[in-house]
Structure 1
Amino acid sequence: MAAHSTDDLADGDNGSAERQPRVATPLAAEPRGDFVRWLAAARGTLAVTTYTSGKLVLASAPAGELVLREIKFTRPMGMSVNGPRLAIAVREQLLIFRRDDPTAAGNNETIYRQVETYDTGKLNVHDVAFGRRGVHFANTRYNCIARPSDRVNFLRVWQPPFIAEMIAQDRCHLNGLGMRDGRPAMTTAFCECDHKGGWREENRFASGVLIDMGADRVVATGLCMPHSPRWAGGAWWLCNSGEGTLCRFDPASGQCEPIAYLPGFTRGLSFAAGRAIVGLSKIRPEHILDAPPVRDRHGDLQAGVALIDAKSGRETGALQFTRGGNEVFETAFLPGVLDAQVICQPAA
C-alpha cells in the first residue's frame, strides 16, 4: 500500500534553512517486501535526506502501518545520529538537534529541537559524523575532513596526501566520512586529482578511491563515484555508487567486493536491526553523476531506500519513492523513536 507524507512545517518556517519554493511535491512512497514489518520490529524511525527536493523524510511504523513525515530544509545532505543528538548539513549551515527528555512529554511524540547552528559557508558539506571530538564532516569544496567552529567556517582535521594545499577548489570530490572508535578513519573521493575540477575531467566511472586516513594512503582504486564508507560488523562497507552496489572492503586484496546490486545510484548507508539500509537515487541522464554502469544494468532506476541482509546480500525490502523525491543522500536510524518531530529555531 502506498504511503503519503504529512508536511509538518510550512515553507520557510524552519528559519535555519533557506526558504523553499512555495509549491513543492509531497512525497509518496511504496513499501515492498518486509520493509514495514522490519521497521515495526526495529522499533525506531528511519530518517532519509533528499537533497534536491529539500526534505528530511521520517519513516516509522508505530502501529504496524507505515507513517511518513517530511520536514523541509534547503539542500539537506549529510546526517548523523549519536544518542540524543542529530546533525544535519544544509546549505551553508550545519544544524545540531537534541532530543527532548522523553519523560517530559505528554504523548508518544519524540521531539528533536535545534540547539546549535554553525555557519559553514559554501563548503558543499557531504557526509557528517559524530566522534570523540564532536561532529566532523566531509568538506568537499576544500578537499578535507573538518570540524565546525564558532569563529571560522571550519577547522581542518585531515586532507588526502595527494592534495598539496588548502584552497576553495573541489579537486577530487572528497565526499565520504567513515568513523571507527569515534575517530575519522576512512573517506571516499572520485579521484586523486590535485587541480581545480579534476574529478570532472577524469574517467569518473573508474577513478574513484577509498582512503585510509590513519595510514594516510589510498587503499582501493578503480571505483565508480564511491560514497558512504561505514564501519559495521568488523568490516568496512561502502557504496560503489555508479555501479549501484553495496560493497565490503577486503584489506588483504584491496578490493571492494560487491555484496548487493541495486536499481539505483547507491549513496547513504547505515546499519540497524540486522539490515544494511542503502539509499537509492534516480540520477538524470544529463547530470554529472549520471552512471551508465547502473543504468545499463537496470534500465529503470529507482529512488528510496533498500534493506539488505548483509550476510547474504539479499534485498529483503524497500521503500520506493514514487513522487516527490528522486535523489537520496543519507540514511540514519533513530532507535527507540516511534514518532519523531524535528523543530528548528525561528528565523532571526
Structure 2
Amino acid sequence: MTDYQPPAPDEAPPPADPTADAADTEPKPDPLRSVYTSSFGEILKQTGVSLVVSTYQAGKVILVRYDPETETVNTHFRSFNKPMGIAVDASRLTIGGTNTVWYYRNMPAVARKLEPAGKHDAAYLPRRIHVTGDIDIHEMAWSADGELWLVNTRFGCLCTLDADHSFYPRWRPPFLTALAPEDRCHLNGLAMLGGRPQFVTALGETDTRGGWRENKANGGLLMEVPTRSILLRGLSMPHSPRWYDSKLWFLESGEGSIAQADVRHGAWRTVAQMPGFTRGLDFYGPLAFIGLSQVRESATFSGIPLVERLTERTCGVWVVDLRDGRVLGFLRFEEGVQEIFAVQVLPNVRFPEMLEWNDDRLKHSYVLPDEALAAVPETMRE
C-alpha cells in the first residue's frame, strides 16, 4: 500500500463543479452537475490519480480529474450505450456496454499534442469493438496473460472473447444447470488474484429465470472460482469483490456499505456505511474509492435494508480510509446522474483524455511496430 496521509474531510461541499464541457458563453444549468468536498480534490491532487466512472443510467463514462490551473475537480463526460464494467491497466481502458465491448489504448504522444500544451498526461484512443450480443456485461478485468474476463450476467457465467464467437464461456456456478440467457442468479462481481479470476459475487443461489429476485434482501453470496465453493451466504446484494492488501473486500450494496470478508469463519465485518447503494470499488494506498447510487423506487430495489434505512439516497464517489472507516471526502452528482456502476483508479495519470470515435485526430494518429517506425522519416516520428 502506498504511504499516504489523506487530508481531513470537509463538513460541506463547495459550489457546483465547473466541468471541461462547460460553455464559455452565457452560463446554462448543467444537467450533469456535481459538487465535491475540497478534501476530495486534495486527495486527487496529492495522490496524482484520476478516476474513470461509468453510469449506465445516464449513458456516460466520466473522467474525474484534478485541474491544477483552476484548482478544481473536473468531470469530463463521454457518451456510450449503457456503459457498465470497466477494465484498466497500464495502457488499456476497456468498457463493457449493452451488447458491446469498446477497447481503448493510451497514446502519450497524442496527449502531448492536446491543448493546452502540457496539461494532459494520457490520451485514450479507440482501437476496436467486439459485439457480444446483449449479455448484460457487469464487471470485467484483465488477466496476467492478457485475456479480458467478463461477468456475463444474463447467462450467469464468466467468459472471455475471441474473433469467432460472441463470447466464450469459461466458468459458471455449480448450481446453474444450464447456460441460458435468463439471469438466474445475477452473477455480477469479479475479483482477480495472481492475475486470474478468484472470487465472484451473485445475488442468489438460484437456478430459475430471475430467481434471485425472490430473496434479494439477504440471498447474496460470495464464491471462490477455482474451487467453485460458496464462501459467504446471507449477503444483501453484494457487488465489487476485490483482493487488496492481502484482504478480501466487497460492497454490500443492499446495506450501503463496504465490508471485509473473513472466509475462514464464514463471516464479514462492515468497515463503513454510506448514504447510497454501494457499487464500484477501487483502491489507492489506504483509500477506497466507492461508487454510490440513489437506486430507483422499483421492485428491484424495494425491501432492501438501505431503502428501509434511508428515504433520501445520494449518487457519486465516496473516499473511505480503510484503516478506520472514516469518510474523507466525496463527489456528489446533483442531477442527471442517479446510478454509478464502476469506479476505477488511473494511477499516475493526473489529467487524461478520451477521444471520441468521430474525433478528427484519429485520422492522423498511428501506432506502428518499432521495426516499421525505423523506416518513417525522423521528422514525422513522435
The answer to whether TM tops 0.5 is: yes
Task: Supply the distance in 2 between the matched residues of 1:298 and 1:225 (Cα, whole angstroms).
Answer: 16
Does the 8 Å contact 2:110/2:123 carry over to 1? no
Q: In structure 2, what is the equivalent of residue 81 of structure 1?
A: 88
Q: In structure 2, what is the equivalent of residue 167 of structure 1?
A: 180
Does the 8 Å contact 1:243/1:291 carry over to 2? no
Q: Report the more deviating stretch, 266-275 or 183-192.
A: 266-275
How far the C-alpha of 1:254 sits from its partner, in A, is 1.2
Name the amino acid aligned to 1:53.
A
Identity %: 32
Name the amino acid aligned to 1:162.
F
In the alignment, which of 266, 280, 295 is matched to residue 268 of structure 1? 280
Name the amino acid aligned to 1:251.
V
1:3 aligns with 2:10: no
1:90-109 equivalences under 5 Å are 90-102=97-109, 105-106=112-113, 107=117, 108-109=119-120
Name the amino acid aligned to 2:135.
L
1:16-35 equivalences under 5 Å are 26-32=31-37, 34-35=39-40
How far the C-alpha of 1:298 sits from its partner, in A, is 3.0
Name the amino acid aligned to 1:247.
A
What SS does the corresponding residue of 1:312 show, helix, strand or coil? coil
Task: Supply the distance in 2 between the matched residues of 1:32 and 1:298 (Cα, whole angstroms).
Answer: 22
How far the C-alpha of 1:296 sits from its partner, in A, is 2.7
Computing the radius of gyration from Cα coordinates, the structure with the larger value is 2
Task: Supply the distance in 2 between the matched residues of 1:127 and 1:117 (Cα, whole angstroms).
Answer: 17
Structure with a larger share of its residues in strand: 1
How far the C-alpha of 1:97 sits from its partner, in A, is 0.7
Name the amino acid aligned to 2:206.
C
* RMSD between superposed Cα atoms in Å: 1.8
1:43-122 equivalences under 5 Å are 43-63=48-68, 64-102=71-109, 105-106=112-113, 107=117, 108-109=119-120, 110-122=122-134
How far the C-alpha of 1:215 sits from its partner, in A, is 1.5
In the alignment, which of 24, 42, 45 is matched to residue 37 of structure 1? 42
Q: In structure 1, what is the equivalent of residue 265 of structure 2?
A: 253
Name the amino acid aligned to 1:191.
G
Does the 8 Å contact 2:216/2:304 carry over to 1? no
What SS does the corresponding residue of 2:188 show, helix, strand or coil? coil
What SS does the corresponding residue of 2:162 show, helix, strand or coil? coil
Does the 8 Å contact 1:266/1:280 carry over to 2? yes
How far the C-alpha of 1:55 sits from its partner, in A, is 0.9
Task: Supply the distance in 1 between the matched residues of 2:110 and 2:158 (Cα, whole angstroms).
Answer: 37
Task: Supply the distance in 2 between the matched residues of 1:89 and 1:104 (Cα, whole angstroms).
Answer: 24
Does the 8 Å contact 2:60/2:77 carry over to 1? yes
Q: In structure 2, what is the equivalent of residue 315 of structure 1?
A: 327
Does the 8 Å contact 1:113/1:342 carry over to 2? yes
Q: Deviations over 1:277-322 (max 9, x none)?
A: 1100001122413454112323311100110001101111111111
Q: In structure 2, what is the equivalent of residue 325 of structure 1?
A: 337
Q: In structure 2, what is the equivalent of residue 182 of structure 1?
A: 195
Q: 1:267 to 1:104 in 2, by over 3 A?
A: closer
1:342 aligns with 2:349: no
Q: In structure 1, what is the equivalent of residue 255 of structure 2?
A: 243
What SS does the corresponding residue of 1:61 show, helix, strand or coil? strand
Q: In structure 2, what is the equivalent of residue 157 of structure 1?
A: 170
Name the amino acid aligned to 1:28.
R
Name the amino acid aligned to 1:81.
V
Task: Supply the distance in 1 between the matched residues of 2:304 and 2:193 (Cα, whole angstroms).
Answer: 33
Does the 8 Å contact 1:86/1:96 carry over to 2? yes
Task: Supply the distance in 2 between the matched residues of 1:279 and 1:103 (Cα, whole angstroms).
Answer: 30
Task: Supply the distance in 1 between the matched residues of 2:49 and 2:36 (Cα, whole angstroms).
Answer: 16
Name the amino acid aligned to 2:72.
E
How far the C-alpha of 1:160 sits from its partner, in A, is 0.5
Task: Supply the distance in 2 between the matched residues of 1:121 and 1:344 (Cα, whole angstroms).
Answer: 22
Task: Supply the distance in 2 between the matched residues of 1:102 and 1:49 (Cα, whole angstroms).
Answer: 26
Task: Supply the distance in 1 between the matched residues of 2:63 and 2:278 (Cα, whole angstroms).
Answer: 19
Q: In structure 2, what is the equivalent of residue 12 of structure 1?
A: none
What SS does the corresponding residue of 1:148 show, helix, strand or coil? strand
Q: 1:103 to 1:115 in 2, by over 3 A?
A: closer
Q: Deviations over 1:56-75 (max 9, x none)?
A: 11111131321111111111
Does the 8 Å contact 1:225/1:240 carry over to 2? yes
Task: Supply the distance in 1 between the matched residues of 2:209 and 2:311 (Cα, whole angstroms).
Answer: 33
Does the 8 Å contact 2:294/2:338 carry over to 1? yes
Name the amino acid aligned to 1:190.
L
Name the amino acid aligned to 1:236.
L
Does the 8 Å contact 2:221/2:233 carry over to 1? yes
